[in-house]
Structure 1
Amino acid sequence: MTAAPRKIIHVDMDAFYASVEQRDDPSLRGRPVVVAWRGPRSVVCAASYEARRFGVRSAMPAVRAERLCPQAVFVPPDFPRYKAVSRQVREIFARHTDLIEPLSLDEAYLDVTVTRSGLPSATATAQAIRAAIREETGLTASAGVAPNKFLAKIASDWNKPDGLFVIRPQQAEAFLTPLPVARLPGVGKVMERRLAELGITTVGELRACGAAELERRFGRWGLRLHELSRGLDDSPVVTERPTMQLSSEDTFEHDLLLAELEPHIRRLAARTWEHYEDERRRDPHRVARTVVLKLKTSDFRILSRSLTPPERPRSAQELAGIACALRERVDLPPRTRYRLAGVGLSGFADEARLEAQRDLFGGG
């Protein structure tokens, strides 16, 4: 006996920040919009589809975006407004299921194996959600429907923007067969290169390699790759639970030196602080004490540095300052280049208990 397949929807808002700006300012509609502050230290938060045609992408330096698309309209980000729209979308999700796993302000997984709306299928549910988003927010969303999370995420990107794509359980292997191995979660450039050295460039070729051979070469990760190549993934949709860590990270368009990371760290710290403020609104008694800086080198080595200061960070600026200072604890050669950075908050605890401990030990 095997359990019936889950019914998972991945909903992804289309060019979310830029679309909100175009919705709220009719003069921006049909024009290339870049959500970013101008200046040499700024990076792109989002780009409209009109801007993307020129090669503009999120996390790109704003000066490069301006070179690629001189006619672009730069709009400074307004995160409180984006969060308000995100809450509207979340309320639409909640009409259909309690099993919601937000990934960011603009995307989420929904488990609709059983729904509260009584619609006859996951496809009908996805259609209803997209229609409600359009009617109530004036924005569009793309959705993927599949028997698991990783297939649903691939599917949501298939007919973007404003699209819907369904992968049924019996279609999964055939759908995956021609795709490049890089479409599988966890297959980055290094693994893609290692697989290419074995003559494996597509998911079908990976599947044909066999589980035993992949395990011999890559250990448990090889078995996981073989499962993914068959369209198998048992990861559940994880609803909200007590937060242990909040973080934001970005992979850069080009690898950077440690000294060049400050504007990116500050941007990531601001994003993490936004998430932290949301968390504090849900549970004002839990506070974070530890700041974490995560880095990934150009050769995919991951390192992290953390600090629990005597006084917990109380603003995005304090968080950014501590995260930037943590670079001094990185002891790799100065010419080392980094492809990713992340800023996190951890060490969550009850604020009243922390204050009691401080009083007990003479901390203030």
Structure 2
Amino acid sequence: MERTILHCDCNGFFASVECMLRPELKNVPMAVCGDPESRHGIILAKNEQAKAYGIRTAETVWQAKRKCPRLVLAAPRFREYRRISQQINEIYRRYTDLVEPFSIDESWLDVTGSRVLFGDGRQIADRLRETVRREIGITISVGVSFNKIFAKLGSDYKKPDATTVISPENYQRIVWPLPVDALMFCGEKAAQTLAGLGIHTIGDLAACSPELLSSRLGKAGAQLYEFANGRDSSPVADGRSRQEIKSVGNSVTFRRDLSGPEDIRKAVQALADSVASRLRRQKLKCWVVQVGIKDPSFRYITRQKTLAAPTHLARLLAAAGEELMAACWNASAPIRMLSLSGTGLVPEDAPGEQLCFFGGDVLRGSEKEERLETAMDRIRGRFGSGAVKFGGLLKEDLGLDGLHRE
């Protein structure tokens, strides 16, 4: 039986939510952006009025302001966006149990088994659009197709507030003239390689030799060839099924570049504190600590270290992070972004603690630290993320305050 897959994409999601929460923004050009002072000054989303000025997602705020000097800027409110996203996905689940969120504003739905109750794919898509618009107050675009790849192409094909059906009968007419990088998983480098072969559209890709594509792009080339020809059998997974957590981490792009050992120590300590708190919240410990470093020219490296025993204590995570930094990085070289993650995760009550031959002081010390850090978690949970912090971070100017915010 031919599947019916929908891809639902919220139009200008962050901006749409802001306009819903602040109706005065609906009739002016507006955009959601990061804080320019912390060097996150890029456009995250814009409304239709701003789009009419040629403002694009991911361009800098100053570029957008040059196009539209009266552009109204709004700071992002990710907690609100997550809340609205959950409400929208619950609407989707009225029509099928198979809802797979792809990002905060996109989801796939498999409505194959729902057609008897609710009609064909177009009818279900139109009902979803009307329901989300009426109950939530924002618009969505929906692609309807026989696989996930073409359904996503359909939701991108016409915006805003539109339904596009890509069927086995019409996909060559609709899909094949599109640029090759419109195809999911065809990134910039792959598109450049394909252009060197004279492949510029999805139709060109579909007509190419799969052997040639494999020789230039490896397995990705063979996969893109299958996608271009409408062959994708990947299932829509139930997004409510618990996903196995592979890592717990955090990163920060600094207000100014890190410079020197003291800056590095502060940054690692703040990141370790954040990651340790998140590990405890999820009742996990990690065996491996990994750091990622990006310099001002965007060169990026990662290094990792296996611990003697799994932990969720900030001091031990910070010690491992500082050791990694000392081994792989010249402390005088500037750092734009730093990340710290715990991997090799195990439940917090899993065996693995190393016993000390020389008495119980080490274990008692760890227990004391755990009680202290758990108490810090409770204080932050009650009074806010900035209620308690390490003394060395009280007067920092790096932009570390938001690491505990969800």
Fold shared by both chains (TM-score > 0.5): yes
Alignment match, 1:43: 41
Report if the CA contact (8 A) 1:36-1:43 is conserved.
yes
Q: Residue type of the partner of 1:174?
A: R
Report if the CA contact (8 A) 2:248-2:341 is conserved.
yes
- 17, 21, 25: which is aligned to 2:22? 25
Distance 2:248 2:59 in 1: 20
Report if the CA contact (8 A) 1:31-1:73 is conserved.
yes
Alignment match, 1:6: 3
Alignment match, 1:245: 246
Q: Bigger radius of gyration, 1 or 2? A: 2
Q: How far does the alpha carbon of each residue in 1:324-348 deviate from its partner, in whole angstroms, 9 at most, with x for none?
A: 998887779x99xx9x999876444
Distance 1:82 1:216, change over 3 A: closer
Report if the CA contact (8 A) 2:206-2:225 is conserved.
yes
More deviation, 305-314/120-129: 305-314
Distance 1:360 1:137, change over 3 A: farther
Alignment match, 2:134: 135
Distance 1:33 1:329 in 2: 46
Alignment match, 1:162: 161
Q: Residue type of the partner of 1:104?
A: S
Query: How does the TM-score come out when normalised to structure 1?
Result: 0.74
Q: Residue type of the partner of 1:24?
A: L
Alignment of 1:138-149 (within 5 A): 138-149=137-148
Distance 1:243 1:344, change over 3 A: farther
3-state SS of the aligned residue for 2:36? coil
Q: How far does the alpha carbon of each residue in 1:276-307 deviate from its partner, in whole angstroms, 9 at most, with x for none?
A: 98x99xxx65436466667899xx99864456
Alignment match, 2:90: 91
Alignment match, 1:350: 347
Query: How does the TM-score come out when normalised to structure 2?
Result: 0.67
Distance 2:177 2:322 in 1: 43
3-state SS of the aligned residue for 1:114? helix
Alignment match, 2:102: 103
Q: How many residues align?
A: 333
3-state SS of the aligned residue for 2:234? coil
Distance 1:176 1:248 in 2: 38
Report if the CA contact (8 A) 1:294-1:342 is conserved.
yes
Q: Residue type of the partner of 1:78?
A: R
Distance 1:176 1:286 in 2: 46
Distance 1:308 1:359, change over 3 A: closer
The Cα shift of 1:18 comes to 0.9
Distance 1:85 1:232, change over 3 A: same
The Cα shift of 1:90 comes to 1.3
The Cα shift of 1:160 comes to 0.8
The Cα shift of 1:221 comes to 2.7
Report if the CA contact (8 A) 2:247-2:344 is conserved.
no
Q: Residue type of the partner of 1:32?
A: P
Q: How far does the alpha carbon of each residue in 1:119-148 deviate from its partner, in whole angstroms, 9 at most, with x for none?
A: 121222111211111111111111111111
The Cα shift of 1:187 comes to 1.9
Distance 1:14 1:179, change over 3 A: same
The Cα shift of 1:230 comes to 0.5
Distance 2:209 2:127 in 1: 40
Q: Residue type of the partner of 2:211?
A: A
Report if the CA contact (8 A) 1:39-1:63 is conserved.
no
Percent of pairs with identical residues: 33
Alignment of 1:323-362 (within 5 A): 346-351=343-348, 353=349, 357-358=352-353, 362=363
Aligned-pair RMSD on alpha carbons? 4.6
Distance 1:193 1:80, change over 3 A: closer
